[in-house]
Amino acid sequence: MPISRRQFLYYSALVTSSVALSGLPLYAYDPKPGSGRDEVRRSYCGLCHPRCGTLLHMRDGKVFEVSGDPDHPVTRGMICERGLLMPEHIHHPGRVNHPLKRVGARGEGKWERISWDQALDEVAEKLARLRDAHGPETLAFTHGTSRTHHWDCRRFFNLFGSPNVCGVNNVCMCPSYATEYATYGGMARGNPRRAKCVVIWGRASANSSPVQSWPALQQAKKAGVTFIVVDPRRIEEVELADMWLQIRPGTDLALLLGWIRLVIEEELYDKEFVAKWTVGFDEIRQAVRDYTPEKVSEITWLPVEQITAAARLYATSKPAQIPYGYGLDKQGVNANQCARARAILRAITGNLEVDGGETFGQTPEVAKVRGEFDLVASEAISPAQRAKQLGADTYPFFGFPGWERNVESNRKLPKGHVAPPSMYRTCVAHARDVFRAAIVKKPYPVTAMFSVASNPMLSFPDSPMVMQALMALDLYVVMEYYMTPSAALADYVFPSATTVEQPELWTTGSFCMACPPGIEPLYERRDTYQFYRGLGLRLGQEKDWPWENLEQAYDYCLEPVGTTFAKLTESYGFFGKPQFKRYEQTGFGTPSGKVELVSSIFKDMGCDPVPIYKEPLWSPAGDPELAAQYPLVLITGSRFMPMYHSEHRQIESARRAAPDPLVFLHPETVAALGLADGQWVHVVSPKGKARMRLRASTAIHPKMADAQHGWWFPERSGELPGLFGAFESNANMLCPMEPEQCSPEIGSWPHSALLCRIEKA
Ligand SMILES: Nc1nc2c(c(=O)[nH]1)N[C@H]1C(S)=C(S)[C@@H](COP(=O)(O)OP(=O)(O)OC[C@H]3O[C@@H](n4cnc5c(=O)[nH]c(N)nc54)[C@H](O)[C@@H]3O)O[C@H]1N2
Ligand SMILES: Nc1nc2c(c(=O)[nH]1)N[C@H]1C(S)=C(S)[C@@H](COP(=O)(O)OP(=O)(O)OC[C@H]3O[C@@H](n4cnc5c(=O)[nH]c(N)nc54)[C@H](O)[C@@H]3O)O[C@H]1N2
Ligand code: SF4
Ligand SMILES: [Mo]
C-alpha cells in the first residue's frame, strides 16, 4: 500500500487523539449560517509556495469561505486541503494582532501590548546600541522557507551592514540551486507533461505539491510518460511508475554515480553535446569507474538488475527529466554532490535546455521585470563586512565568495538571459556558526536576532542548541502569525499580515503574477516591508526606502514592462515563451562558458570538483557498532497534508485531520519489537528522543523508521520549561548539526539518513 493523503486522513479518523480536542483553544471558524454570501473577492493563497488564485467569500466583513479561482491562468480553480484553512487562519483567536513586548523573564510568557511606533522605536534604539558596541555583524537573522518575499529583509541587512542572514536554505532547494549555477549557470526545471521519462527522485509531490506538481504528474501519466521512482518509501507516485527503487536512505550519490558510469560505459551519452558543450568528461569517467552495478547494489540495497534497467530506461528515453527532490538535499554529507551528479546526468544525456528536458526557464519577457537582484541593495554591504559572514570560512561556496563567483559568470550572459543567482538563496551565513556565536560569543558576539516567517525552534536540528542561542541574545525579535515556541522566547513579537491582507508580485522564470490582497489587514497586522522600512527609517536609512509601501515597490519592479501592480492584477499577470538551446548563441553562464562536469568554482572554493560518495556517519555501514544500538535507518520530515512544517497545529480542522505526531514502521518491525499499531513510542537517536504515535505501514522498508517533523502543541502552556511541548515530539531533537554530519560544500545538515531505535513510551 502506498502512503497517500487519503490514507493520512483515514488514519486520523481511526486514531483517537491522546488529547481531547474539544477542551482546547484550537479553533474552527464557525460562520453563522443563513445570512447569505454578500461579496466575493479575488485574492491568492500563500499558505505554501504556489500562490494559488482564490476567491474569498465574505459575510459581515469576515472571510467565511475560500474557493479556487477558476479564472486564474495557472492554478485554474484548484486549491488544496490546506488552502481551505484560510478563513480559520485569518480569524483565529490565537493570532498575534498587536505588537507585544516581553515584561517578565525571557520565556515566562508575560507580555505587554504596545504600539507599532513604540515597538519600532525601542527595537531600533537597542539595535543601534548593540551595533555601536559590537559592529553591525552582531545582528543575525533566521529565515524559513519562502513564505513571504525576502528581498526587504536582505535590503535591510545589507544597508545595516550585517552579512549574517542564515536559515534553512542550507538544506532546502538552495544547495541544488547554487550547485546548478556553478555547473551550468542556472537552475534547471522541466514540464513533466512534455517528457518521455521522469525520474521522481526523493520527492513526494502528492503530499508536498498537491496543486502544482502532483496534477502535472498525473496528466503526464495519462499522456504516456514513463516514471521511475527512487524513494525509500512506497509513496503515492509509485502507483504511476514503471519502476520503484527502494533505496537505502543517504546512498543516492552512489546510485547516481553508478548511472553516470553505465551511461558512459554503454555509450548512451549525447556525444555531440558532450564534445562541444562540456568540460571534464574524462575526469568524470575516471571518477565513476569503480561504481559498478555490483558495488552500487551493495551500498544501496537495490538489486543489480534494477540499477542497470533504470539507468538504461532513463538514458534511452528522450527527452527525460530528474526533477528536484528534497529527499536528496536532506541527507547531509552527500547532499550537495547528489545535486552535482544529477546535474551531470542531465547534461551528458543531452536533456539540458531541450523541450521536454530541463531548462533554465527564464524568458526574456519576464526577465525585464525588476527582481530580487535589483532590490536587495547588495552594493551597500562593504567587502570588510562581507568578510565577516559567519560560516563562510568553512563553506565559502555558499557565502559571499561563491555567490560573487556565480554572479560574475552570470554577467557574461546577455542581461536577463538567466536570472542572476539569488542572494537570499545562495549567500547565507551558516546557522550553526550563528547560534554558536550567540552562545560562546566567538569569533565575535551575535547579540541580536530577527526571525521573520521562521520557527527555528522546530525547523533546525538540535533544538536545545537553538534554544540556548536564543536565550543568550540581548535582543530577539520575531514577526509572526501566532505565538510559537520561538516567538515565546522573544523580546518583541510583531503581528504579521496574512498573505490575503497584502499584495504580492510573484515571478518565476516564465511568468509574472500580480497577487491582489483580498482584504485590508485586520487589527494591527502589517506586512514585513513595513517592519523593515520602519526600522530602516529609524536607523539612518531614510534615503533607501523610497517606496512607502509594497505596492509602490512593485510598481517600480514593473516599470520596465510599462505596467503597474494595480493594472497587472486585472489581467492576473503575464507569461513569457520558453526557449531552448540558447547556449548555442551565448554559451553557459559558467567560468568556461560550458557545462562544467568538473566544477572550477567548486575547486576554487576548496570543494571536491567531482562527486565522490561518502558513507553517512550514522549508518549501518558507516558505524556498525552504533547501528547495533540504533538498528533502524531514520528519515524525518516526509511531507503530509494538511500540515506545513510546524504550522497549523492550532487550527482545529487541521488537527482533526492530523491529531498526533506519527512515526511509521513496517508491520514486521512492529511485531518484532513487540509493539502495536497506534501505541505511543519514543524514537531515540544518538542525539535525543521524540515521543510519537506508532503507525504500521508496509510502505516503509522493514529496516527503517519515518518520523514526522514540525510537532509542538499550541494547546499547552508556552512558558519555559515546557515551551508548548517543543522538546517532546520534535523530530529535530533527533537530528544532529555537528560539522562532520554536514556536507563539506555547503554545510547541509541531515534530516534524513540517520539512525534510531524505538522504545515503548
Ligand atoms: N526534521 C526535519 N526538519 C526540517 C525539515 C525536515 O524535512 N525534517 N525540513 C526543512 C525544510 S525543507 C524547511 S523549508 C524548513 C521550514 O522551516 P520554517 O519555514 O521555519 O518552518 P515553518 O514551521 O513553516 O515556520 C514558519 C513560521 O513563520 C510563520 N509564517 C508563515 N508565513 C508567514 C508570513 O508570511 N509572515 C510571517 N511573519 N510569518 C509567517 C508561521 O506561523 C511559522 O511559525 O524546515 C526544515 N526542517
Ligand atoms: N504538506 C506539506 N507540503 C510541503 C511542505 C510541508 O511542510 N507540508 N513543505 C514544503 C517545502 S519547504 C519543501 S522543501 C517541499 C519538499 O517536498 P519533497 O521534495 O516532496 O520532500 P519530502 O516530502 O521531505 O521528501 C520527499 C521524499 O524523499 C524521501 N527520502 C527521504 N530520505 C531520502 C533519501 O535518502 N533518498 C531518497 N531517494 N529519498 C529520500 C522521502 O521518503 C520522501 O518520500 O515540500 C513543500 N511542501
Ligand atoms: S497548494 Fe494549497 S496551501 Fe499551497 S498555495 Fe495552493 S491552496 Fe494554498
Ligand atoms: Mo523546504
Residue 606 covered by a domain = no
Can you give the CATH number for the domain in which 654 is found?
2.40.40.20
415-450 pLDDT, tens digit each: 888 889 999 999 999 999 999 999 999 999 999 999
326/303 Cα distance (integer angstroms):
24
Residue 432 beta carbon below 6 angstroms from any ligand 1 atom: no
Residue 556, domain member (yes or no): yes
**How many angstroms does the Cα of residue 559 sit away from the middle of ligand 4?**
32
- The region, left, alpha or beta by phi > 0 then psi within -120 to 50, assigned to residue 443 is alpha
Q: Is the pLDDT of residue 671 over 90?
A: yes
Decide: 229 and 238 in contact? Cβ < 8 Å. yes
Ligand 4 centroid to Cα of residue 464, in Å, is 21
Q: Which ligand is nearest to the CA of 168?
A: 1
- Of 91, 120, 137, the residue that ends a domain is 91
What cell does 88 get?
A: 480559520
Domain residue limits at 674? 624-760
Ligand 1 mean position to 397 CA, how many Å? 24
Residues 104 and 79 in one domain: no
Question: Higher confidence at residue 183 or residue 30?
Answer: 183
Question: What digits encode the pLDDT tens for the residues 230-279?
Answer: 999 999 999 999 999 999 999 999 999 999 999 999 999 999 999 999 99
pLDDT at 365: 85
pLDDT of residue 416: 82
Alpha-helical runs (H) found in 549-694: 550-558, 565-570, 583-586, 600-604, 624-629, 652-657, 667-672
Q: Is the CB of residue 144 below 6 angstroms from any atom belonging to ligand 1?
A: yes
Residues 199 and 288 in one domain: yes
For ligand 2, atom 32, name the residue with the nearest CA: 327
Claim to verify: residue 543 and residue 409 sit in the same structural domain:
yes
Measured from the Cβ of residue 653, the count of other Cβ atoms closer than 10 Å reads: 16
Decide whether any atom of ligand 1 lies within 6 Å of the 175 Cβ: no
Taking the CA of 83 as reference, the closest ligand is 3
**Which residue from 287, 357, 363 is spatially nearest to 597, judged by alpha carbons?**
287
∠ CA 305-207-503 to the nearest 5 degrees? 135
How much is the pLDDT for 578? 82
Residue 294 has pLDDT above 90, yes or no: yes
Pocket probe mutation, ligand 1, options 43, 47, 90, 145, max atoms within 8 Å of Cβ = 145
pLDDT for 36 equals 53
Whether residue 500 has its Cβ less than 6 Å from ligand 1? no
Going from the Cα of 587 to the center of ligand 1, the distance in angstroms, rounded, reads 37
Averaged pLDDT score across all residues of the chain: 94
* Residue 162 resides in a domain: yes
pLDDT tens-digit series, residues 82-102: 999 999 999 999 999 999 999
The alpha carbon of residue 358 and the mean position of all alpha carbons in its chain are separated, in whole angstroms, by 20
Q: How far is the CA of 679 from the centre of ligand 2 (A)?
A: 25
Testing ligand 2's pocket by substitution, the residue of 147, 203, 665 carrying the most ligand atoms inside 8 A of its CB is 203
Ligand nearest to the CA of 202: 2
Q: Is 547 among the domain residues?
A: yes
102 and 490 Cβ atoms separated by less than 8 Å: yes
536 lies in a domain? yes
CA distance 588 to 579: 14
Q: Which helix (H) or strand (E) holds 55?
A: strand 53-59
Instruction: Please give the pLDDT value at position 131.
Output: 98
Q: Which residues line ligand 3 (CB under 6 A)?
A: 45, 47-48, 50-52, 79-80, 82-83, 210-211
Is residue 607 situated within a structural domain?
A: no
Tens-digit pLDDT profile for residues 27-54: 444 444 444 557 999 999 999 999 999 9
Pocket test for ligand 1, best of 455, 500, 651 (most atoms within 8 A of CB): 455
pLDDT in tens, 589-643: 999 999 999 999 999 999 999 999 999 999 999 999 999 999 999 999 999 999 9
CA of 510 to the centre of ligand 4 (A): 22
Same domain for 221 and 349? yes
Confidence of residue 354 (pLDDT cuts 50, 70, 90): very high
pLDDT at residue 216 above 70? yes
The reply to whether ligand 1 has any atom less than 6 angstroms from the CB of 636 is yes
- Of all ligands present, the nearest one to the C-alpha of 658 is 2
Please tell me what DSSP assigns to residue 240: G
Say whether both 355 and 369 belong to one domain: no
Judge whether residue 3 has pLDDT over 80.
no
Instruction: Specify if 23 maps to a domain.
Output: no
Closest CA to 328 of 461, 179, 225: 179
Beta strand 39-44 with 53-59: parallel, antiparallel or unpaired? antiparallel
Domain end residue (candidates: 70, 91, 112):
91
> Atom 30, ligand 2: which residue's CA is nearest?
327
Which residue ranges have their beta carbon within 6 Å of ligand 2?
Answer: 48, 145, 172-173, 201-205, 207-209, 230-233, 235, 247, 249-250, 252, 325-327, 331, 635, 637-641, 643-645, 752-753
426 with 521, same domain: the answer is: yes
Give the number of the ligand closest to the Cα of residue 637.
1
d(CA 520, CA 457): 31
If pLDDT is split at 50, 70 and 90, which confidence band does 5 have? very low
Contact 547, 537 (CB under 8 A): no
The amino acid at residue 134 is: H
Q: Whose CA is nearest to atom 34 of ligand 1?
A: 453
Residues 150 and 243 in one domain: no
Ligand 3 atom with minimal separation from the 54 CA: 7
Domain for residue 584, yes or no? no
Which residue from 176, 213, 231, 703 has its CB within 8 A of the most atoms of ligand 2, so it is best to mutate? Answer: 231
Name the domain count of the chain. 4
pTM of the full structure: 0.95
Q: What is the CATH number of the domain that holds 213?
A: 3.40.228.10
**Among residues 91, 119, 139, which one ends one of the domains?**
91
The ligand minimizing its distance to the Cα of 144 is 1
Residues 6+ apart with CB under 8 A from 525: 95, 97, 495, 496, 497, 498, 501
Average pLDDT over every residue of 291-315: 98
Same domain, 544 and 630: no
Task: Tell me the pLDDT band of 691, cut-offs 50, 70 and 90.
Answer: very high
Query: Which one of 89, 100, 146, 168 would you pick to mutate in the ligand 1 pocket, going by the greatest count of ligand atoms within 8 A of its CB?
Result: 168
Residues 502, 552 share a domain: yes
For residues 594 and 343, what is the distance between their CA atoms, to the nearest angstrom?
A: 13
Quick one: 537 and 389 in the same domain? yes
pLDDT of residue 17 exceeding 90, the answer is: no
Quick one: 506 and 427 in the same domain? yes
Q: Which ligand is nearest to the CA of 48?
A: 3
Ligand 1 mean position, distance from CA 456 (Å): 8
Q: Mark whether 355 and 418 lie in a shared domain.
A: no
Ligand 3 atom having least distance to the Cα of 68: 7
Could you give the residue ranges of the DSSP H alpha helices within 161-202?
174-184
* Gap from CA of 169 to ligand 1 centroid (Å): 11
Q: What is the CATH number of the domain that holds 56?
A: 2.20.25.90
Residues 481-505: pLDDT tens digits?
999 999 999 999 999 999 999 999 9
Q: Which of 438, 445, 435, 428 is nearest to 389 (CA)?
A: 428
Ligand 1 centroid vs 459 CA: distance in angstroms?
6
Structure confidence at residue 576 (pLDDT):
87
- Rounded to the nearest 10°, the torsion over CA 738, 743, 746, 748 is -60
Q: How many residues does the chain have?
A: 761
